[in-house]
Chains A and B, each alone.
Chain A
């Protein structure tokens, strides 16, 4: 790879390319269960540099994998077959801010919270806030159509992407969409690139719609001894025409994990709901009163709400810390991102929760369930000793059951994290013949299959996710 390293150094400068074994080792991980090393990492600063890198790779059939902050949960940003990793974090500028036109143009490497810090003084924000908001990049969010707690009211990244600049696999730079809030001109290719996980090109610029910041926000906490009662409350809230800005659920396992990690003293009940409303103060207060009445019909052990920013922040810190806190819950057990992003119609939440609990019992696994129940999106974290081969077999069986149930309920494998490699074995189960259409599109845009190969079940259908694991697995 030394020849490639030299050639790439001519494009980006020698300080922005590395084939050092330590560096490659660091880039062989993301937040997933997998590990796979690149041959070289480059950190370009412009679309022209990206274009030259991709053209170079395409001529030589070298795989190219874009990477932002590397917070992907399913191995999206890992080079499955080696090759070149393009780290986009140097392309982190805000290129244009036009709140009067409701848009902002940014480089793909800008961090979500940095963008919102810049928009805040103008009274605007980019709403789809993932749990990794303080570190994840906008490019990564576009690549997986990320969202988070606010999706129930504000939608996901795809709903805000007005335009993209993409370097195609042949090095050509294309612009899709426009700088307008609506557009009926031909195929909506922006919507295709959003969620394509780096398999169709490298995103080098993003035009995002921005929304006005709400004047007032209030957050409630309702705790239930019965997780299903919490699930039923969610359905009742939506049915009664309430649209919370966030509607979250956490089960006992998750509550215990964050309490242990952050000493938050949340009530350790079976089901905890976080309900947030934002907008004009009078409307929010009215909605909160209505929500309280509805919550009380399912006999909560506690119901409290607050508009104090410090109290609200503390609550949200707990919710955001669920994912990384899970590994501290039980000594020797690791929280894995498996079966972690199913989405079902909102009213099916209690059914899915019941089914996950049944699977956990059947497979004798600890599974923590939490998520954005307001939009039907649940995260189940499977805890087990990752060094035991037998535990992986049980985890695989559990995932099959949970995904099977989600799809049977009219749902999908992923609400906001994407497919990457970990969920690729289940693509056929969800998409059937639609997968062939996806493969046709992929082949048309990337005939040499250089862009992030091995992902989304586009080039081959993997039979299991228990491969290229980051953990040393014994017998």
Chain B
């Protein structure tokens, strides 16, 4: 293997060991699945330390499906009962309560048609302000979306932690509610999971990111003037995996007076925040925060006074290490600058 992927891996950059290189992860998958290599601490740390950001896949000239190999390796480790406890705890919560935080609530059971906003666990329980702002903005552009009350989790934590059985059962259960709906997500992890992961269960449902819907109605939204230099952090799942890069920029550019600056690595070539959809953050916390700190450094290098992103996981991750640099989620940022008269 050529090793060209070494250039772009955020985990390798922080750790340096070959086991963290995407090429190393491919070797580990091969060793575990084909050559009788047994799980070790290094294997578990590096396989779950991978943020699944997919930058290596985009770089790989023979287009090895490195991300898929990592997920298959995680599934094998999960089967072997070798997944980190911090990760399996999330899945236990998920099994008990339907969400990774172990929170209970009464769920409705009704089939929708039309536009449905799917918040996902993170936004529902940790960032209700994103839910509120997103619905407000959707209403502003004339989209009357119903909030999905029937399900909490999209299944991504199970898929990314390697419990494929649990993932498929969540996907099947959720599919009952999303038959003929236009799904709208603020969480790119949920969006990507539903588009890519539900294919087997459901075929790809019609699903969009909030910013895609809002940018279509950009003419009907008016914002207060702001004198700020803002940089936009592209979430890997949204920009690289789903190629949504322009809508959030169009929205930010429509705020009068806002100066949008680009970091060294942006759009499809974005640099990961280190969260790994919460999995890396749980399994290898120090590594994930080191990766986030490098991203914040890039934001400071271009003179940003504020970082705006469009993913609740990126938001939490970057805030942890931002050292006073404000970090906002895009719907909250936009909704707070909305002119009420319109």
Contacts and interface: CB of A to CB of B under 8 A. Distances in A.
A403 interface: no
Interface stretch (A25-33, A99-107, A228-236): A25-33
Given A22-B37, A22-B46, A23-B18, A29 B2 contact: no
A261 B62 contact: yes
Interface in B21-40: 21, 23-24, 27-28, 31, 34-35, 37-40
A325 B17 contact: no
A11 interface: no
A28 B35 CA distance: 13
B7 interface: yes
B19 interface: yes
B323 interface: no
A123 B1 CA distance: 34
Given A69-B6, A132-B2, A324-B4, A26 B62 contact: no
A22 B31 contact: yes
Interface size, B (range)? 20 to 34
Given A23-B17, A25-B37, A134 B27 contact: no
A135 B7 contact: yes
A25 B31 contact: yes
Contact of B63 (A26, A89, A90, A328): A328
Contacts, number: 90
Nearest to A73: B2
B43 interface: yes
B142 interface: no
Main secondary structure of the interface of A (DSSP, over half): mixed
Contact of A324 (B2, B16, B21, B40): B2
B52 to A, nearest CB: 19
A97 B35 CA distance: 47
A323 B2 contact: yes
B61 A26 contact: no
A379 to B, nearest CB: 13
Interface residues of A, number: 35
Contacts of B60: 324
A321 interface: yes
Given A324-B62, A327-B62, A328-B62, A134 B43 contact: no
Which of B31, B61, B63 has the largest count of A CB atoms less than 10 A from its CB?
B61
Given A134-B7, A261-B61, A325-B62, A23 B42 contact: yes
A69 B19 contact: no
Contacts of A135: 3-4, 6-7
B227 interface: no
Interface string A4-43: 0000000000000010111101111111000000000101
Contacts of A326: 62
Contacts of A327: 62
Contacts of A132: 2-4
A327 B42 CA distance: 29
Contacts of A113: 7
A95 interface: no
Given A261-B61, A327-B62, A328-B62, A26 B3 contact: no
A94 B3 CA distance: 23
B41 interface: yes
Contacts of A416: none
Name the residue among A25, A135, A321, A328 with the largest chain B CB count within 10 angstroms.
A25
A238 B188 CA distance: 55
A321 B6 contact: no
Find the residue from B1, B27, B43, B62 having the highest chain A CB count within 10 A.
B62
A402 to B, nearest CB: 22
Contacts of A71: 2-3
Contact of A26 (B7, B16, B19): B19
A174 B220 CA distance: 72
Interface in A173-219: none
Given A43-B17, A70-B18, A26 B24 contact: yes
Contact of B3 (A21, A70, A87, A328): A70
Nearest to A27: B18
Interface in A437-453: none
Contact of B42 (A18, A43, A70, A472): A18
B61 A25 contact: no
A328 B18 CA distance: 24
A38 to B, nearest CB: 11
A262 interface: yes
A18 B23 CA distance: 18
A31 B38 CA distance: 24
A262 B63 CA distance: 9
A26 B23 CA distance: 8
Interface in A292-333: 321, 323-328
A26 B46 CA distance: 11
A324 B60 CA distance: 8
Interface string B204-219: 0000000000000000
B287 to A, nearest CB: 13
Contacts of B35: 25
25 contacts: A18-B17, A18-B42, A21-B37, A22-B37, A25-B31, A26-B17, A26-B18, A31-B2, A41-B18, A70-B23, A71-B3, A87-B16, A111-B7, A113-B7, A132-B3, A134-B4, A135-B3, A135-B6, A135-B7, A261-B63, A262-B61, A324-B60, A325-B62, A327-B62, A328-B63
**6 nearest interchain CB pairs?**
A324-B61, A22-B43, A26-B24, A20-B42, A26-B18, A324-B2
Given A25-B35, A26-B19, 8 more contacts: A22-B31, A22-B46, A26-B18, A70-B3, A111-B7, A132-B2, A324-B60, A324-B61
